[in-house]
Amino acid sequence: MSEQLIIFILAAFIGYFVVRGVTPALYSPLMSVSNAISGIVVLGAIGMTGFAENIFVMVCGLIAVFLASVNMFGGFAVSVRMLEMFKSKRKKQ
């Protein structure tokens, strides 16, 4: 637990500095990318479903797998679409 707390705080620092460097023009893609990677809870959900010894727990896990997948796939889909728009003009210019 304390080890993970250290990891958490250090990761928050990394997050702070990395996000600080993001150009304001890409704040919307930043939100959808971070949205997508916060879908990482799907790992926990997969684990819970896989090792559940009780049907209720398994259902909870499965619902979480489903919800986190919407979040994750959707977030990446929106990011890809947005970043595609930002790309297209360099060629024309």
Partner 1 sequence: MNELISLPSAILFILSIRGLNSPRSARFGNLLGIIGMILAIAAVFVFIPFPRLPVIISAMAAGGIIGIISGQKVRMTALPQMIAAFNGLGGLAAVFLAAGETIAGGTGYFTSSIGLVIGALAFSGSMVAFAKLQGILPGRALLFPFQHVLNLLLATVVLILFAGFVFYREEWMFWYLTAASLLLGLLLVLPVGGADMPVVISVLNACSGWAAAGIGFMLGQTLLVITGAIVGAGGMILALVMTKAMNSSLWQILLGGAAKNAKSAAPGRETGNARSGSPEDAAFIMENAQSVIIVPGYGMAAARAQHALKEMSVLLRQKYRVRVRFAIHPVAGRMPGHMNVLLAEADIPYEEIFEMDEINRDFAETDVAYVIGANDITNPLAETDPSSPIYGMPVLNVSAAKTVFFVKRSLASGYSGIDNPLFYRENTVMLYGDAKEVTEAVVRELEK
Based on the shown chain and the rule CB under 8 A, indicate whether residue 68 belongs to the binding site for partner 1: yes
What is the C-alpha separation between 2 and 25, in angstroms, rounded? Answer: 38
What is the C-alpha separation between 72 and 69, in angstroms, rounded? Answer: 5
Give min distance, CB of 2 to partner 1, in A. 11
Site for partner 1 in 8-67 (CB under 8 A): 8-9, 11-16, 18-54, 56-57, 60-67
H runs (alpha helix) in the chain:
2-20, 27-37, 41-51, 55-92
Based on the shown chain and the rule CB under 8 A, indicate whether residue 2 belongs to the binding site for partner 1: no
Give min distance, CB of 55 to partner 1, in A. 10
Based on the shown chain and the rule CB under 8 A, indicate whether residue 90 belongs to the binding site for partner 1: yes
